[in-house]
């Protein structure tokens, strides 16, 4: 009987240990799910930020092209005026 009691006690301890391990694994699983959700939100935020930066860059280049065109027109007018004043 003594050996049977020890075996039962060892089996009960093994089952309790397995239950604790299962609880720990479940907690880790939940933490990983939360971390995964946070990473998805972070990636979405980064994508929105990159999209916004690309739009700003596009608008900057568009404005820069417009200003360069205006500058060229002004330089052309100055050249024509110089030609009239100094050559004419």
Q: Per residue in 30-47, is it b (16+ CB within 10 Å) or e — as a string?
A: eeeeeeeeeeeeeeeeee
DSSP state of 83: I
Task: Look at residue 83 in the predicted model and tell me its pLDDT.
Answer: 86
The residue whose two tokens read 């939360």 is: 34
Mean pLDDT value across the chain: 94
pLDDT for 82: 87
pLDDT higher than 70, residue 13: yes
Which residue has tokens 């880790």?
28
Task: Choose among 50, 69, 73: nearest CA to 61.
Answer: 69
Please state the pTM of the whole predicted model: 0.56
Copy the structure tokens of residue 52: 């916004």
């Amino acid at each position: 009987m003594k050996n049977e009691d020890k075996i039962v006690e060892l089996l009960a301890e093994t089952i309790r240990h397995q239950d604790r391990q299962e609880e720990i694994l479940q907690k880790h699983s939940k933490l990983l799910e939360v971390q995964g959700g946070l990473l998805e939100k972070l990636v979405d935020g980064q994508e929105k930020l990159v999209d916004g930066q690309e739009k700003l860059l596009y608008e900057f280049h568009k404005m820069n092209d417009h200003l360069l065109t205006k500058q060229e027109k002004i330089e052309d007018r100055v050249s024509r005026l110089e030609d009239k004043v100094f050559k004419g």
